Amino acid sequence: MKDKELRKRFDAVATKLNRNAGLREFRDYMQNNEAFLSGLTNLKKFKEDVLKSYLKSNVQLYDDLMQQYSKAKQRKKEIEEEARKESTQWDAVIDMFNTRFFVPFPLRGQEQGRGDVGAEGNGGGRLHLSRRSRYSSNRRG
């Protein structure tokens, strides 16, 4: 190397690479694998190649993840359908109670958050008593 500036930079890098065993191994790898070193000229392509290599070597893990995701998605649908059916049955029970009994506080089902399973603040399907007026005609026939 004839260029003094380049030699100075090279020496600085060499000094840093000799500091510990891990960096010395990295230096040796770089010296023995020039194709790897030339791949660093296009960093974007290098990152893409590394990612592809990682995905290719872990394709089984990815397939397992996708299989588990599909199972969880199907189970979520089953749970939501079951909850919807139970909600409908519960509404029928409340209607039957209010039809058969006249009390000053009729039962009403609170909105049960029939959105996604696990959604926060879904109300839990609680019952509420609402006070009837003396003069109301809320009794069902």
pLDDT recorded at residue 96: 87
In a domain, 117, yes or no: no
Rounded distance, CA 138 to CA 102, Å?
Answer: 9
pTM: 0.40
For residue range 108-134, what is the model confidence (pLDDT) as tens digits? 776 554 444 555 444 445 555 555 544
CA end-to-end distance (rounded Å), the chain: 103
Its domain, for residue 30, covers 4-42
* pLDDT tens digits, one per residue of 16-62: 878 888 888 887 887 788 777 777 788 899 899 889 998 899 999 98
Answer whether residue 79 is part of any domain.
yes
* Residue 65 covered by a domain: no
Residues 6+ apart with CB under 8 A from 105: 129, 130, 131, 132
Residue 19 lies in a domain: yes
Question: 65 falls in which pLDDT band (50, 70, 90)?
Answer: very high
Note the pLDDT tens digit of each residue in 3-20.
Answer: 778 778 878 888 887 888
* pLDDT at residue 46, as a whole number: 87
Number of structural domains (the chain) is 2
**Would 133 be classed as within a structural domain?**
no
> Cα(70)–Cα(65) distance, rounded to whole angstroms?
9
- The answer to whether residue 20 is domain-embedded is yes
